Structure 1
């Protein structure tokens, strides 16, 4: 009865995958519990909002847009960046200026990549992780990897079950319907684990933890409420939109054209 060995193998694969997903879900739940108090009383800076929304690249984009709006950095529609004012006002701006190079001119794509990988951005990421607002690198992938493994286990059980049903019974009296029922049990285990994970495991963004997502939502609402106040409030609202939404929030056609080259 070779199908019994296949059944045991199916149970082993399904059980291992579901156990891994369950452990990942438990760790995620522990993070969520700590997140309940994370970020209270914390007002996000624009750089922090940019990182939580789009990661290191978004921080570089925001810095370049901010400097361009102040006429301290020229971003040409051809995809070139030229430093107008070499004195950076904070560590992010100094990172961008350093990434452009001593000549004061560079293609936007390599300058953006270098600025995104700078120590200033890594330090920002570390601070956000320590505050419980950003997701550590490992935590971003653990639950997702567990879900993928359970899905693969479900496919494996289906495939092995089909092989078992196609095999000759070897003279046994075991009905094929009963064999299919036995293989349906580990399949039901995998499907139930996926259903529970979909309901109970807190969805993480690519960069922001649940607490970080809540602060991002509050920041966006405040920006909407002050968008028409004029002057500094308008500029802050504009940059907040760029931090949260990315380059698609940029209204100037030439500036949008400049950033169309940023991945080249």
Structure 2
């Protein structure tokens, strides 16, 4: 009856992990005030930095600052992955953080600059303001949801391991109803189905935005590819991220990927 013990463990793990994920998702759906008290999206007046945070988190804010400084030619982003300061006077706290992260020599690799800017106090203060306004998800709720998702994924692996163990144990591969491994299909379907539902429900949405913040993002007219005016490009980067950058060399500088042969050297 070893296979039965394995099956009971599989069912218990599946039920507990799926229940934890459902509770975390329910708390994330109502992080603050009641939905009836939330202002309409038209009542929000957010900056590009705030929109970038809701759409993509701290890294999106850092990317927006880098692109903005590059377009104004106060910062040179080379396709080789280096940032060079041209104008050491930033227009806001985030830009000044970028300049400080580059250092007194005025040149640094872009990746550590982006990481330092994303983790800096101005971005944390921006996040706190959005959380206080009910537009961003509190860090505790994001962490709880991520932990619950990780637990469900680990449970799926555990069920597979238990199923294999039940058929590899000598003389334990058959149950009264047939092969023991068949009985592990149901808890595995429950776990995988739970993951698929979460994936389908949350795929179009940002994990950084609360329901109210997501309403704001949904109310925006999503900018198309980043061509035209600089403001249009910055708005596109805030909402869509680096996918909105059409310049192959600028995209290579920010993503660390080599530009295509059609690009032009800086």
Q: TM-score range by the shorter chain?
A: 0.7 to 0.9
In structure 2, the residue matched to 1:133 is 136
CA distance in 1: counterparts of 2:182 and 2:95, whole angstroms: 59
In structure 1, the residue matched to 2:153 is 148
CA distance in 1: counterparts of 2:172 and 2:97, whole angstroms: 69
Matched, 1:9 2:6: yes
In structure 1, the residue matched to 2:16 is 19
Given candidates 188, 191, 194, the residue that maps to 2:189 is 191
Aligned length: 246
After TM superposition, list the pairs within 5 Å mapping 1:101-250 onto structure 2.
Answer: 101-130=103-132, 131-134=134-137, 136=139, 137-163=142-168, 167=171, 176=174, 178-180=176-178, 184-185=182-183, 187-196=185-194, 198-199=196-197, 202-203=201-202, 207-209=207-209, 211=211, 212-221=213-222, 223=223, 234-250=229-245
Q: 1:77 to 1:13 in 2, by over 3 A?
A: closer
Kept in 1: contact 2:135–2:209 (CA 8 A): yes
Q: TM-score, normalised by structure 1?
A: 0.75
Shift of 1:148: 0.7
**Root mean square deviation of aligned Cα:** 3.4
CA distance in 2: counterparts of 1:77 and 1:185, whole angstroms: 55
Instruction: State the structure with more CA Rg.
Output: 1
Given candidates 57, 70, 80, the residue that maps to 2:82 is 80
Kept in 2: contact 1:77–1:258 (CA 8 A): yes
Q: TM-score, normalised by structure 2?
A: 0.74
Contiguous gaps of at least 5 residues in structure 2? 259-266
In structure 2, the residue matched to 1:51 is 53
Q: 1:210 to 1:129 in 2, by over 3 A?
A: closer
| Greater helix share, structure number | 1
Deviates more, 1:205-214 or 1:64-73: 205-214
1:109-161 Cα deviation digits (max 9, x unpaired): 33222222211122233334442523634134133213213312331342133
Contiguous gaps of at least 5 residues in structure 1? 170-175
1:174-208 Cα deviation digits (max 9, x unpaired): xx462537764454134234325533684265642
SS in 1 for 2:113: helix
Shift of 1:64: 1.2
Kept in 1: contact 2:163–2:180 (CA 8 A): no
